[in-house]
Amino acid sequence: MRLVRCAAAIAGLITVVLLSGAPAALAGGGGPSPASVFPNPSTPGTSTTFTIDCSTGADTPCTSATLDGSSLGLPAQIPMQPGSQTDMFVATVVLPSSLAPGTYSPEITCSNGVSATATFIVKAVPGPAPATGDGTTSTATDTSLTNVGLGLLGAGALAGCVMLRRRWSGRSSS
């Protein structure tokens, strides 16, 4: 009977983890995109860095890249700076504090014809921190670590049930 209860508890934990979006957070997207955004998700009023690899699918070298910031409330043409590698370009902007939470996909174009959208999420700024006494606050708005933690708790519960089942099985047969 204990094994049945243990199995039911583990099944419940696994269901919670699967429905919470942990597999999607861990799996990532399809193929690699030539454009990336850091941090993602981001919050209004913070520095956000856009990067593009202009060599993806191009036969000619790239000399410049431009970020279209109009959907973000920024200038329409933001020139990007050369990155640390050939055909890599980077632009760091401060998102307007009036930017509404949501999903944004600004277009990045390279001088050699490569273009990509840099899709990222803007989340609302967390409210004031509680008075905890240590003087630090957290501005993290991503829940993927929570989902991974729940998965690890489920794995720990499964291991504990197996060990308890073996222990009780050994006592009853003596």
84-123 pLDDT, tens digit per residue, is 888 899 999 999 999 999 999 999 999 998 899 999 999 9
The range of the structural domain enclosing residue 60 comes to 31-125
Query: Strand 65-67's sheet: what is its strand order?
Result: 78-79, 65-67, 107-110, 115-117
Q: Six-digit token pair at 47? A: 């520095």
Q: Within a domain: residue 140?
A: no
Q: Within a domain: residue 174?
A: no
Q: Within a domain: residue 87?
A: yes
pTM for the predicted model, two decimal places? 0.55
| 11 and 35 inside one domain | no
Q: How many domains does the chain have?
A: 2
4-15 pLDDT, tens digit per residue, is 665 555 655 566
Q: Within a domain: residue 26?
A: no
Q: Within a domain: residue 141?
A: no
| 153 and 114 inside one domain | no
Look up the CATH number of the domain holding residue 110: 2.60.40.1930
